[in-house]
């Protein structure tokens, strides 16, 4: 038993289990940048919160980058990876070129990404023919961590760590859409630093509401002022700049105090 107690041991064990689950699920495919992501892999990393009903809309073709089931038949751009899809692909392409109106595809949206539930060949043909949008019925699935369009399989372990960070430090939605770190360990360091700041500030975080108040106070009272004081730190995202500052602080030895005179 660690000196921090059973609850801390449990939280650490749960973090390790979630990260291990995500890594195991993508192990054989994570180094393939063209691999088609599955909705299950992404939601396991980002963390499910809720789902909304379906509505019909036009979706940017470039934002459709995943599937619910057929990961081995197409790549991330929905180019065919197997001859099994040839006949169906050609039939759909022929119908499109003949001017037939095809039914909308069925998609699930996660953040900026869309995953195909039904209509893989229609999406594949639309992309191959250069159509900018696809007619679709879309349901929206909300997650703890935000799904950016640039997300690839290799990023899922870090997004899983981000999800665990957000469970401890539940930042506002407008901040979550701009979070990105490459190293999963940095998310745990960031959570520890935020909670230490909250402790020093006399804030409690026993309930979900208190955690949200603490998280927003940490972001607006510590992170943003720190970034304003160090404009020399240049990164794409604010959280990357702040983590860079944390590393600097940890490398800088404390100054000895002046002896009393």
**CATH at 76:** 3.90.1530.10
Does 31 reside within a domain?
Answer: no
Does 15 reside within a domain?
Answer: no
Query: What confidence tens digit (pLDDT) does each residue in 74-95 have?
Result: 999 999 988 999 999 999 999 9
In terms of residue numbers, what domain contains 236?
Answer: 169-251
Q: Are 168 and 206 in contact (CB under 8 A)?
A: no
Q: Are 191 and 168 in contact (CB under 8 A)?
A: yes
Average the pLDDT over 185-189 and give the result: 93
Does 6 reside within a domain?
Answer: no
Does 175 reside within a domain?
Answer: yes
pLDDT recorded at residue 1: 33
Q: Let me know whether 79 and 134 are in one domain.
A: yes
Q: Let me know whether 131 and 215 are in one domain.
A: no
Q: Let me know whether 42 and 120 are in one domain.
A: yes
Query: What confidence tens digit (pLDDT) does each residue in 129-138 have?
Result: 999 999 999 9
Q: Are 181 and 240 in contact (CB under 8 A)?
A: yes
Does 161 reside within a domain?
Answer: no
Distance separating alpha carbons of residues 179 and 240, to the nearest angstrom: 8
Domain count, the chain: 2
Q: Let me know whether 73 and 122 are in one domain.
A: yes
Does 30 reside within a domain?
Answer: no
pTM above 0.95, yes or no: no
Helical (H) or strand (E) element with 138: strand 133-143
């Amino acid at each position: 038993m660690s000196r921090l107690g059973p609850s801390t041991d449990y939280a650490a064990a749960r973090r390790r289990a979630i990260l291990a689950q995500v890594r195991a699920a993508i192990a054989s495919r994570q180094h393939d940048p063209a691999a088609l992501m599955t909705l299950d892999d992404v939601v396991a990393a980002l963390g499910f919160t809720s789902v909304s009903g379906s509505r019909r809309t036009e979706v940017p073709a470039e934002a459709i980058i995943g599937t619910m089931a057929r990961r081995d038949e197409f790549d991330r751009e929905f180019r065919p990876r197997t001859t099994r899809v040839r006949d169906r692909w050609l039939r759909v392409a022929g119908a499109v070129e003949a001017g037939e109106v095809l039914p909308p595809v069925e998609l699930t949206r996660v953040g900026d990404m869309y995953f195909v539930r039904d209509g893989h060949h229609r999406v594949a043909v639309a992309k191959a023919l250069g159509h900018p949008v696809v007619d679709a019925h879309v349901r929206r699935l909300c997650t703890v961590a935000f799904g950016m369009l640039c997300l690839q399989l290799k990023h899922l372990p870090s997004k899983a760590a981000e999800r665990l960070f957000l469970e401890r430090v539940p930042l506002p939605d407008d901040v979550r859409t701009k979070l990105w770190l490459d190293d999963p360990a940095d998310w745990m360091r960031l959570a520890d630093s935020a909670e230490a700041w909250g402790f020093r500030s006399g804030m409690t975080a026993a309930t979900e509401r208190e955690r949200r108040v603490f998280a927003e106070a940490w972001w607006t009272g510590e992170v943003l002022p720190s970034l304003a004081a160090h404009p020399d730190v240049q990164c794409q995202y604010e959280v990357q700049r702040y983590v860079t500052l944390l590393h600097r602080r940890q490398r800088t030895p404390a100054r000895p105090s002046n002896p009393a005179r």
